[in-house]
Every structure is written in structure tokens, then in C-alpha cells.
Amino acid sequence: MNYTKEEAIEKIRSIDAEFVCLTFYDVYGKQKNITIMPEELERAFDSGISLDAALVDGYRMDAKIDLLVKPDPNTLCELPQSLADNAIGQVMRMNCNVFYPDGRPFENDPRYILKLAVEEAEKRGLQFNFGPAMEFYLFETRSENKFDNSIRQPYDNAGYMASAPEDRCEAVRREICLDLRKMGIRPECAYHEEGPGQNKIKFHFNTPMEAADAATAYKAVVRSVAARYGLEADFSPKPLERIAGNSMHVNMSVISKDGMDRTPDIIAGVLAKAQEITVFLNPTKKSYKRLGHDNAVKYVSWSDANRSTLIRIPAYGGYTRFELRSPDNGTNPYIAFALLIYAALYGIDEKPTLQKASEEDLFEADSKALSRLKPLPASLAEAQSKAKNSLFVREHLPMKVIDAYVKSDK
């Protein structure tokens, strides 16, 4: 999109938009919105729109200090009907950055955290790209009686890459993809996943900021389209017992200006820091009902194509990109991508030894084979402890952000 401030204002005026939705994110990646009229755009760009920081998770600070959100013109897009909620008139949307009244960036703003990581990589001549693949379940909601609220039933009983009529979710997925395209987001493919009523949509590789913006917008679009069909979209890590949970696999690649292949060092760096950053990739108690169960990874490991390892290099991608398979949708993608960039830079700088590739199926491997591998944290408390004691985490995240995760009881 790449609009300037002036171009964004002119675009909004030219299509006679009635409202502008300004979006920012709390420390957990939850979307927050402020709606302004188009005539307030100049003020929003120049001075910002104020918010009460004490009421935003991870933003709590001196009650006497306001914070300001300022729109990023590069993120200007039309708000599709699913999100506009039948609003009268055209609605446009922009993501925002958060500032102090004196113009300083607010250090706990997730977009600012990612911005700093990208700038650090660029200083080294490195350009990172991300492509998340996010799963969700669709449930019917039906009332049993006036006293018992509701019982959820998967929208279908189809399995992996099923087709109609077993797959009842295809129309929903297609509408989600169309709405995403209206917002300038490029889905790569969409299909039915392993669980009943479970779906996955993958995104094209993009810059870290654009990929994180897309991942957060995606959740809102999915929930809104599902509601239009009378369904509930569930992104939680383990919606159903003894059935595959929801992941957010993260595809990652790097381009180096010197032309060197940094992938082995990057993989070694991510593996070295995997235990310490797990709480940011898997931030809820339910996350640990998924990890290590029903074909979800459990061990710090890698391979060329083995889907039972934490990191795999897809056979169709060559040795230039890899897939991290532990994150779930509870992650804040801005913070997750920032930590992955810093872990990659650690690998490039410190060159930790890349452990031997795990060729065996770790879902079926015996105890002798598994004893050679470090496990991911088995509980939220263990993951919080790893992060709390990590010099690496403290070096790259503000303390208020760390505290929000290591003290959470979600």
C-alpha cells in the first residue's frame, strides 16, 4: 500500500468514507479500536488520539500520563463488511503506533518492539520474512434450554483436506479469504484440517510488520465471518480433548545482503533460545494441553522435513526457509516475531553448535532417543520460570511486558 499521510487522507476523502477505525494492540496482541470521523485525521496524524493507558493490559503506568495513538498510513485499507458490522457508509482502517505526549515511542507497544528488532536486523544487512499458518475450529452454537447456556458442536465431522459435502466449512473459508484480500492481505491457501470443524489458512511471506498486522487482522475477520454464519470460531490451543489442537505455525526466512546462507546459524539460535521464549509463543495454561499431545511437538529439535520436530525445513522450500511448529494462536505475533529475529541474530553472532537433525518420528520414538533432546516447557509455570530467569529475554523486552507474561495465570 505504501501511502504517505497526505495520500491516506486524500484516499479517504476521495471515496467519501464516513468513519476511520484506528487499531492498536495490548501486550497480549488483543486488538483495540478507536473510531474517528474523517475530519479528525489531520489531528490524529499530527497530534494523536489519547487513550487511558491504565485500562490496557501491559500499558499500566502513572495514572497522570496519557498515551497517544497515531495512525500508520502504510496500513490504510477498506474495512470489509464482516468487520464494519453493517455500519452506514464506508469504513476505512489503519493500524496505529503508540506514543508518549512528548513524542517518544511507548516502549511497551508491541508494534514498536517489533520495529526495533527489524531495525537491528537491517543494521546487519538482514531482511527477515514471516508467513504464519493459523488454525481454528468452527462450532455450532445451540441452546439446550433456557437455563443451560449453550453446548458447542463442531460444524462438521470432516478430516484433513476433506472436500464437500463432508467439509461444510469451505464457504466460510472462502469468504474469509475474500475479506482478507479486501484488506490487502494475501492468503496463500486454505483447507480443512485434521479435527472436526477445524480449518487452516496460510499467508504469503511478508515483512515482519506486515505479517504480524495480517495475523492480528485475520483473527478478527475469521470471528466476524463465522458469526455471520451463526458459528463460533475458536482459536484456543485445545478446544477439544484428545483431538488435534490449534497451532500457529510460523514460516521464517532471511535474505542476507552478502548472499550468504544464514539458515543453519539461525536455526541453531532459535533452538538455543526456544525454552526461554516459549511462554511468549504459548502463553496460556491450555497451550500446554496441546504441546506434546495429539501430534503437537514436544522437543527442541529440527529436521529436513520431519513434522514431529520443533523446526523443520520443508522439502519444497530448499535450505532457505524453515517452519517453527510450537506456537499457538495465543501468541502476540509482534512480540513473537521480534524474539525470533533476536534469537536468529544470536545464532549468527554466537554460532552455537547446531545439534544433530532428528530423523526419527519423535511422536513414536523410544525413551533412549528422546533422552538426547531437551523438552519444551511442560507447563505454563515452567515456561514462565524459564523466561523470568532469561538474560536474553530481559535484554530484548521491556520489564512490564515480561511481567505481564510471567505473572499471568490465564
pLDDT tens column, 148-207: 445 679 999 999 999 999 999 999 999 999 999 999 999 999 999 999 999 999 999 999
Are 159 and 96 within one domain? no
Are 79 and 137 within one domain? no
**Domain ranges, residue 194:** 116-406
What is the domain count for the chain? 2
Query: Taking the CB of residue 209, how many other CB atoms lie within 10 A of it?
Result: 21
Identity of the residue numbered 162: A
Residue 177's domain is classified under what CATH number? 3.30.590.10
Mark which of 53, 75, 106 sits at the end of a domain. Answer: 106
- pLDDT of res. 145: 45
Are 335 and 391 within one domain? yes
Mark which of 106, 129, 164 sits at the end of a domain. Answer: 106
CA–CA distance, 362 with 371 (Å, rounded to integer)? 11
- The Cβ-side half-sphere exposure at 235, using a 13 Å CA radius, reads 22
User: Which residues, 6+ apart, have CB-to-CB distance to 279 below 8 Å?
Assistant: 377, 380, 383, 384, 386, 387, 405, 406
Quick check: is 53 in a domain? yes
Quick check: is 160 in a domain? yes
DSSP-based three-state secondary structure for 63: coil
Are 92 and 135 within one domain? no
- DSSP H or E segment with residue 132: strand 126-142
CA–CA distance, 82 with 221 (Å, rounded to integer)? 7
Quick check: is 32 in a domain? yes
The CA dihedral of 117, 319, 215, 204, to the nearest 10 degrees, is 120
CA–CA distance, 376 with 252 (Å, rounded to integer)? 20
Are 354 and 225 within one domain? yes
pLDDT tens column, 362-389: 999 998 889 999 999 999 999 999 999 9
End-to-end CA distance of the chain: 37
Are 268 and 391 within one domain? yes
Quick check: is 111 in a domain? no
pTM of the entire structure?
0.95
Cα Rg, the chain, nearest whole Å: 21
Are 194 and 268 within one domain? yes
Name the burial class of residue 245, with classes exposed (0-12), middle (13-18) and buried (19+) by CB atoms within 10 angstroms of its CB. Answer: buried
Mark which of 78, 106, 134 sits at the end of a domain. Answer: 106
Are 120 and 102 within one domain? no
Quick check: is 177 in a domain? yes
Are 205 and 301 within one domain? yes
User: Which residues, 6+ apart, have CB-to-CB distance to 260 below 8 Å?
Assistant: none
Are 193 and 290 within one domain? yes
Are 99 and 123 within one domain? no
Q: pLDDT tens, position by position, for the chain (410 residues)?
A: 689 999 999 999 998 899 999 999 999 999 999 999 999 999 999 999 999 888 898 887 655 678 999 999 999 998 887 676 655 678 999 999 999 999 999 999 999 999 999 999 999 999 999 999 999 999 998 655 444 445 679 999 999 999 999 999 999 999 999 999 999 999 999 999 999 999 999 999 999 999 999 999 999 999 999 999 999 999 999 999 999 999 999 999 999 999 998 999 999 999 999 999 999 999 999 999 999 999 899 999 999 888 999 999 987 655 478 999 999 999 999 999 999 999 999 999 999 999 999 999 999 999 888 999 999 999 999 999 999 999 999 999 999 999 999 998 88
> How many degrees, rounded to 5, is the angle at CA 369 between CA 300 and CA 305?
55
The string over 249-282, giving b where at least 16 C-beta atoms fall within 10 Å of a residue's C-beta and e elsewhere, is bbbbbbeeeeeeebbebbbbbbbbbbbbbbbbbb
Quick check: is 366 in a domain? yes
Are 127 and 95 within one domain? no
Residue 58's domain is classified under what CATH number? 3.10.20.70
